[in-house]
Each structure stands twice: as structure tokens, then as C-alpha cells.
């Protein structure tokens, strides 16, 4: 899986610099040629209109009064001003703006107070020159514009630095997440994101870690299932191959006419073929039982089963076999005691436990079944006095195809497919119960089964 790369850090920062610089240039242009220009133009026009008024007033006064004193007039007018100063100069030593506010003549310097001057030419009878109006407002406007420009320029560098570090942090955290996603896409499900903080990236990292943990858990589960499947197939292949090889060998022997086998020998070989065929039949039957249980398609018809009556019928069905093996079946149960189970499946559980004891226990003389109960559960103990199970095998006696071989010479003589106890465990769990095994070499083995006691009703059981 190809993960798209995050934009390069240099490209992001360059784009940010260009955007921020453009914004500052637009702001400076707007301040100088927009706001300040409009304010200054309006102020100059206002001062120019005042000068026109003073000029007309002076010319009118001069015409009315031949003894008109211009200095006295200016002094009188200046008493009325606070931030303005009216003056008359005869030479160009001031900044003069035309009436249309566009033409600027820079002559000499502002007055000694630093105020900017607006002038208008005036011609009198005795002299001519410029009528000048000094204004501190224009100075403040220009100074404010300069200070604002300086402030804007001074904030450019800190803004760029702040943006640089923000982009670097965002880029690093984004790259960290993208790198983790790439490792996950390559199958490294142990990957985790180590982001700290309270931002969105931390939340995304936590969600990513939860997802990765879930994927890792599911993957391990699938691997375990696949391993079990492979082992199951290998065990089935082995279990099927053994009787088939035996059948094939004896059939081929029977077909060899040159051997001139006697009737007794032929009957012996046919008996072996029949036994191996029967073994295959039991194996296929058990496999179908396991498949139905694992698929959750087995239906339990549970009801109250009287324990004493159930054991009488079970002993009767196995009487010939027990007599042949010289094994005694005993039970300890109080009259009227019942267990809540499916009758046919409970019979299958007991049959598999008895078969296991008869096949695998040496010097077996007695099998004892004990029933007891509590208000919530029924307890069944199935005990034999055989040779017992070695402790290293106890944890795996319920595994499919697992066989306990106590001596090497037993491996070829076992008539067992290793599925009996596995079916027992699954059937007990299908009833909602549990099974445990206890064993001691030379003493015997005890299987303890627990069945819950619930209201009699049919259930469709699904194995989770």
C-alpha cells in the first residue's frame, strides 16, 4: 500500500512566508495610500480653505484701512488658535501644497516647533509673500502613519518565526502519524504512536493505537486459528492414512492368489479390514460431531433426567463390554436426583468417558459415577481406578487428536482417534457447564463435570 507523502516542510514554510508577506504589503499599502492619504488630504484641504478665508479677509481689511497692520492682524488671529499658527513669510522656506493637494513644493524646513505648514501666495499693496498656516495635526498624522508602518514591519519577523515553529510542529506530528500508517501497511502491527498533548493529533494518535492494538489482536487470533487449522488437517490426514494403509495392505494380500491363504487366514485379514473400516467410520462420525459443535448448528433438547434411571440404562447397554473387560460399574446417587441436559448428548458424554477409561487405563477394575447437586448446579464425578495419566499430559487431554502414550510400545496398538475427550469437553460447554480432570499415577483418574440447573426448555446452542 502506497501512502501519499506529506508536503515538504520547505514548501509549506515558503508558502506561509509568501502569504504573510503579501498580507503585510497589502496592509501597508492600504494604510499609506488609503487611510493616511485620505486623512491628510482632507486636513490639507481644510487648512487651505482657512488660508483662503484669511487671505480674502486680509485683502478686504487692507482696502478698507490704508493703515492696515498685517502683523497685528496675524497676532490677533493666533490668540484664537491652540494647535495652529498663522504667519506671513516673504521667501520660500516652507513646505507648500497646492490647492488640489497634489503639487508639493518643498522649500526650507518647517517651523521651529516642528509643525508642517500649508501656504498660499498673497499679494498686498506694500509687499507680497506667502500666508502660512502651521498645523501640528499633520505632524501627528504623519508620525502616526510612520509608527504604524514601523509596528507592522516589526511584527513581520516574529510572525514568520511563530509560523515557522508552528509549521514545524505540525509537520513533525503529521509525519509521525504518516510513518506509523506506512509501517502498519507493511504488516508491522506492533507500531504505536507516541504523541503527547491535548490537541487533535494526540486524539488521532490514541485512536490509531487502539486500532493497531485491535488489528494486532485480530491478526494473532487469525494466526492461531490458522495454526490450529494446519495442525487439525495434518492430524486428520494422519488418522485417515493409518487405517487406509492397513486396509490397502491386507486387501492386496488377499488378492495375491499365489500365497494360497487358508480360510482362517483370509477370515483374520478380513476381520482386520472390517475393524479398520469401523475405525474410519467412527473417525468420520466424530469429526462431523466436532464440526457441528464448532459451527454452532447442534440443537440441544434439554430436559430433567432422573440420574438413577439414566445410569441403569447406561449400565445395561454396556454390560457385555464391561463383563468382557472384567470392569465393575458403580454409582452413588440419591433417589430422585435429576440433571438438566440433552439425554442423547449426556449419553454420548458418558460413553466417551467410559471408552476412554477402558482403552487407556491398565489394570482397570472399577468405574464409579457420583452425582451431587447444589441449588444452581449438578455435579458428576466419573472416577476409574486405572493406571492414571502422567501430570505433563493433563493440560492437553481435551485437545483434538491428542493421545496419551505411556509406553512406546503402546503407540501402535491404540485403537483411538484422540477425539473422544475433545467431544466430551465441547458437549459439556455446549450445556453451559465445565469439565476438569484430576489424575494420579497408579491410583486412577477423575473427571468432574458441572451442569447448570435451569428451567426445562429447548435451546438452540451456539458456541462462541
pTM: 0.49
- Which pLDDT belongs to residue 120? 81
- Which pLDDT belongs to residue 146? 72
Residue 155 shares a structural domain with residue 302: no
> Is residue 361 over pLDDT 70?
no
CA distance to 21, 35, 144, per residue, from 31 (Å): 15, 5, 10
- Which pLDDT belongs to residue 379? 93
Structural domain includes residue 167: no
CA atoms within 13 A on the CB side of 398: 15
> Is residue 12 over pLDDT 70?
no
The residue among 8 and 348 whose pLDDT is bigger is: 348
Structural domain includes residue 99: yes
- Which pLDDT belongs to residue 176? 74
Most confident of 194-198, 203-207, 253-257, 369-373: 369-373
- Which pLDDT belongs to residue 58? 84
Mean pLDDT lowest for which of 17-26, 42-51, 395-404, 447-456? 17-26
How does 5-39 read in b/e, with b if 16+ C-beta sit within 10 Å?
eeeeeeebbeebeeebeeebeeebeebeeeebeeb
**60-81 per-position pLDDT tens digit:** 888 888 788 888 888 888 777 7
Which structural domain range is residue 149 located in?
9-159
The residue among 107 and 431 whose pLDDT is bigger is: 431
391: which DSSP letter?
G
- Which pLDDT belongs to residue 37? 67
Indicate the residue among 116, 137, 159 that finishes a domain. 159
Under 8 Å between Cβ of 122 and 51: no
Average pLDDT value for residue range 343-351: 90
**What's the distance, CA 325 to chain centroid?**
61
Structural domain includes residue 399: yes
Structural domain includes residue 205: no
**373-383 per-position pLDDT tens digit:** 988 999 999 99
Structural domain includes residue 226: no
Question: How many domains does the chain fold into?
Answer: 2
> Is residue 107 over pLDDT 60?
no
- Which pLDDT belongs to residue 167? 67
Structural domain includes residue 186: no
The residue to which cell 498656516 is assigned: 133
The residue to which cell 448448528 is assigned: 297
Average pLDDT, the chain: 76
Structural domain includes residue 214: no
- Which pLDDT belongs to residue 295? 75
Indicate the residue among 127, 159, 191 that finishes a domain. 159
Q: How sure is the predictor about 362, in pLDDT bands with cuts at 50, 70 and 90? A: low
Q: The domain that contains 378 carries what CATH number? A: 3.30.565.10
Q: How sure is the predictor about 449, in pLDDT bands with cuts at 50, 70 and 90? A: very high
- Which pLDDT belongs to residue 3? 43
Average pLDDT value for residue range 337-363: 86
The residue among 433 and 244 whose pLDDT is bigger is: 433
Average pLDDT value for residue range 406-414: 48
Helices (H) and strands (E) in the chain, counts: 10, 14
> Is residue 463 over pLDDT 60?
no
Indicate the residue among 159, 176, 195 that finishes a domain. 159
- Percent of the chain exceeding pLDDT 70 equals 75
Structural domain includes residue 315: yes
- Which pLDDT belongs to residue 411? 44
Mean pLDDT lowest for which of 317-321, 341-345, 412-416? 412-416
Amino acid at each position: 500500500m502506497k501512502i501519499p507523502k506529506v508536503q515538504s516542510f520547505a514548501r509549506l514554510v515558503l508558502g506561509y512566508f509568501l502569504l504573510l508577506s503579501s498580507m503585510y504589503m497589502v496592509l501597508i499599502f492600504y494604510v499609506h495610500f488609503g487611510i493616511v492619504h485620505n486623512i491628510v488630504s482632507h486636513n490639507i484641504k481644510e487648512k487651505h480653505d482657512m488660508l483662503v478665508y484669511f487671505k480674502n479677509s486680509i485683502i478686504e481689511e487692507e482696502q478698507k484701512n490704508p493703515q492696515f497692520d498685517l502683523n497685528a492682524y496675524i497676532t490677533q488671529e493666533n490668540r484664537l488658535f491652540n494647535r495652529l499658527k498663522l504667519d506671513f513669510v516673504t521667501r520660500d522656506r516652507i513646505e507648500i501644497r497646492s490647492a488640489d493637494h497634489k503639487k508639493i513644493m518643498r522649500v526650507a524646513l518647517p517651523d521651529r516647533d516642528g509643525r508642517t505648514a500649508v501656504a498660499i501666495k498673497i499679494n498686498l499693496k506694500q509687499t507680497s509673500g506667502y500666508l502660512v498656516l502651521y498645523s501640528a495635526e499633520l505632524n501627528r498624522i504623519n508620525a502616526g502613519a510612520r509608527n504604524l508602518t514601523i509596528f507592522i514591519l516589526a511584527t513581520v519577523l516574529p510572525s514568520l518565526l511563530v509560523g515557522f515553529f508552528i509549521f514545524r510542529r505540525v509537520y513533525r506530528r503529521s509525519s509521525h502519524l504518516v510513518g506509523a500508517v506506512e509501517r502498519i501497511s507493511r504488516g508491522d502491527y506492533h507500531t504505536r504512536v507516541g504523541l503527547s498533548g491535548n490537541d487533535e493529533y494526540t486524539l488521532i494518535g490514541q485512536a490509531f493505537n487502539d486500532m493497531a492494538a485491535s488489528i494486532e489482536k485480530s491478526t494473532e487470533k487469525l494466526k492461531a486459528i490458522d495454526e490450529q487449522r494446519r495442525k487439525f488437517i495434518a492430524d486428520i490426514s494422519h488418522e485417515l492414512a493409518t487405517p487406509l494403509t492397513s486396509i490397502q495392505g491386507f486387501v492386496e494380500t488377499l488378492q495375491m492368489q499365489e500365497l494360497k491363504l487358508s480360510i482362517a487366514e483370509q477370515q483374520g485379514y478380513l476381520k482386520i479390514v472390517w475393524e479398520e473400516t469401523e475405525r474410519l467410520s467412527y473417525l468420520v462420525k466424530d469429526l462431523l460431531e466436532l464440526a457441528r459443535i464448532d459451527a454452532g448448528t447442534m440443537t440441544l433438547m434439554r430436559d430433567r433426567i432422573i440420574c438413577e434411571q439414566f445410569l441403569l440404562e447406561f449400565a445395561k447397554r454396556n454390560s457385555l463390554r464391561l463383563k468382557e473387560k472384567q470392569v465393575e460399574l458403580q454409582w452413588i446417587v440419591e433417589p430422585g436426583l435429576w440433571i438438566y441436559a440433552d439425554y442423547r448428548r449426556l449419553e454420548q458424554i458418558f460413553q466417551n468417558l467410559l471408552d476412554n477409561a477402558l482403552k487407556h487405563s491398565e489394570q482397570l477394575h472399577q468405574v464409579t459415577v457420583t452425582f451431587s447437586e447444589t441449588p444452581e448446579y449438578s455435579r458428576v464425578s466419573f472416577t476409574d481406578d486405572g493406571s492414571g495419566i502422567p501430570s505433563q499430559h493433563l493440560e492437553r487431554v481435551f485437545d483434538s487428536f491428542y493421545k496419551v502414550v505411556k509406553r512406546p510400545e503402546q503407540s501402535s496398538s491404540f485403537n483411538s482417534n484422540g477425539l473422544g475427550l475433545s467431544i466430551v469437553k465441547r458437549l459439556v460447554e455446549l450445556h453451559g457447564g465445565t469439565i476438569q480432570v484430576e489424575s494420579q499415577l497408579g491410583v486412577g483418574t477423575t473427571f468432574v463435570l458441572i451442569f447448570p440447573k435451569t428451567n426445562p426448555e429447548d435451546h438452540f446452542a451456539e458456541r462462541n
